Structure 1
Amino acid sequence: MPQTPVAEKHTTFARCLECNKVGLFAPLHWLALGFKDMASAPLLSLFYGVVFSLIPVAILYFVYQSGTHLVILPATVAFALIGPVFAVGLYDIAWELEKQHKPTLSHSLKSMFRNPVGEWGFAILLMVVMIIWMRLAALVHALYPNSVNPTLEELSAFLTLGSFIGAIMLGSVFAISAFTPQIMMERRVDLMTAVVSSINAVKENVGAMIVWAFCIVALVALGFVTGATGFIVIMPLLSYASWHGYIAIIKHKGPRGYE
């Protein structure tokens, strides 16, 4: 698939890694490569899949215990977007397969400490953003009409403001999280370089990233519909596909194992 390099940029705070432009439906190719990785490392994929399936179970329990629907959307989005932070071990497996090495559990676990400052800093950054999002959701809920059966006109302010804030927060978190964990794991760069590079890559590939976002949302929704058991397969698949998206979009000096 042809790729057009985008010139490297520099900012005051961090450098921006070069990126390629990919086709609109490139994410479907990433998913296909993700399936191949799962077939190449089935036991390791199963191990991480079981571990990650416990995360949505915890989210569902939290939603049940909170007794309010306000946390459902932020919790679902948090899982979809913060999940890649905890998928570093799966990125390592995909990277080892790319290098034609035999991936091991010990090697993948060690990869979680390859750039601990950046990875934990990124996790804290996303946690702060999600807390802000939930507080904004609570404030917007104050606009909800007091009547038992509100009309569409009465709901208009609530729906408009809620949709506007949700779209901004969703787009922002997606942009900073799309490739930041992969960049930090492989290149061991600082957090700002990874975040700026991720935002730039998403900006230069808006169409493909919208398709990728829909793929993520659809698969995450399927995981919750199956009572979280589907995440045993979905989380490894999304993690491997994310790695191939990183390979396709973030420019490297030499050829990669997958194109």
Structure 2
Amino acid sequence: MSQHFKETPQNAITESGIARVIPCKELDIGDPIKWLSLGLQDLLRTPMLSIFYGVIFAAIPWLIFYLVAMTGWHLVILPSIVCFMLIGPFLAAGLYDISWEHEKGHKPTLAHSLRAIRRNAVNEWGFGILLMVLMIFWLRVASIIHALYPQHQIENVESLMPFLLLGTGVGALFCVAMFLITAFTQPILLERKVDLATAVMTSINAVWVNKVPMFIWAGIIFTMVAIGFVTGFIGFIVLMPLLGYASWHGYIDAIETKRERNYV
């Protein structure tokens, strides 16, 4: 499949000097659907490996809810989420490795996918810690917002509106920031021997340059995660591997390389 590289416009991100920014390509509005299609092909090629990772993704939130229900100790949520934020990048790296093996014409194996994290271990761990810190920060901000509007002061819908507006606004800003940081950071770290700052700044730049396609991609992710929750996390068994594979194809479609990539 041929690819046409376009010169990436310079902006405040690429000229910030904070870190090296790998150039990105301009995406088309229909590219996220293409990524899903290619991700589905990877899933169908390796159904057992996909289910293995999907079960783990489904089991972690189920375990968190089970512990809360069994113990009634809601404080278990925080350490559980912290663990998940550290484990999540490693699980995603395994899925990216499977798609990468398909691209290279190799047969993916569980052992090879589990070793994927070792390619850039220090920065992968750094990425997990960064996600953990951001999640803890969000939980603390949410606690402050909740403290500003205690339940005994909320008597009707009108008095509830400031709480909803503030919480929704802050939550939306946090989600945007997380998406900018995480959209392509993990696959960049997996494939390229670069530092965490370079990977993060490259991800932010690629999303910023391609706002409309990436907004559509964010909507697809949100929808699939919502379906996973509605189905009691069972949907994650299929949806999380599909998202992982599609994210890899999004990465190789968005970030420039010196050679042409093979999609299928």
Q: Report the Cα offset of residue 160 of structure 1.
A: 2.0
The amino acid across from 2:8 in the alignment is V
Is the counterpart of residue 24 in structure 1 residue 26 in structure 2? no
Identity %: 51
- Counterpart of 1:225 in structure 2 is 230
Question: Which residue is equivalent to 1:195?
Answer: 200
SS in 1 for 2:125: helix
* d(CA) in 2 for partners of 1:15, 1:253: 16
Corresponding residue number in structure 1 for 2:245: 240
Deviates more, 1:149-158 or 1:213-222: 149-158
Instruction: State which of 110, 124, 133 in structure 1 corresponds to 2:129.
Output: 124
1:36 pairs with one of 9, 20, 41: 41
Aligned amino acid, residue 170 of structure 1: C
Contact (CA 8 Å) 1:3, 1:22: kept in 2 or not? no
Alignment of 1:160-171 (within 5 A): 160-171=165-176
Q: In structure 2, what is the Cα distance between the partners aligned to 1:141 and 1:44?
A: 42
Q: Quick check: 1:145–1:154 contact (8 Å CA) kept in 2? A: no
* CA apart distance, 1:44: 1.3
Amino acid at match of 1:174: F
Secondary structure (helix, strand or coil) at the match of 2:25 reads: strand
TM-superposed deviation, 1:199: 0.5
| Alpha-carbon contact 1:46-1:233 (below 8 Å) kept | yes
Residues 137-152 of structure 1 mapped to structure 2, 5 A cutoff: 137-144=142-149, 146-147=151-152, 150-152=155-157
- Match status 1:103 vs 2:108: yes
Q: After the TM superposition, which of the residue ranges 223-232 and 83-92 deviates more from structure 2? A: 83-92
Distance (whole Å) between structure 2 residues aligned to residue 89 and residue 183 of structure 1: 14
**Aligned partners of 2:31 and 2:188: how far apart in 1?**
19
Which amino acid in the other structure matches residue 59 of structure 1?
I
CA pair 246-51 structure 1, distance change in 2 beyond 3 A: same
Instruction: Deviation per CA, 1:79-103: give whole Å up to 9, x if none.
Output: 7998455310110110010111111
> 2:185–2:202: 8 Å Cα contact kept in structure 1?
yes
CA contact (8 A) 2:6 2:25 kept: yes
**Long gaps (5+) in structure 2:** none
TM-score by length of 1: 0.88
1:47-94 superposed Cα distances (whole Å, 9 cap, x missing partner): 21122221221332355468699999xx99x97998455310110110
Cα distance per residue 1:201-227 (max 9 Å; x no partner): 110111111111111111111112222
Opposite residue 151 of structure 1, the aligned amino acid is N
Higher mean C-alpha deviation, range 109-118 or range 58-67:
58-67
User: Which residue type is aligned with residue 32 of structure 2?
Assistant: P
* 1:6 matched residue in structure 2: 8
Structure 1, 52-61 or 249-258: larger mean CA deviation: 52-61
Equivalent position amino acid for 1:237 in 2: L
TM-score normalized with structure 2 length: 0.87
Which residue in the other structure is 2:66 paired with? Answer: 61
Gaps of at least 5 residues in structure 1 are: none
Q: Does 2:182 correspond to 1:180?
A: no
1:178: how far off? 0.5
Contact 1:81–1:173 (CA<8 Å) still a contact in 2? no
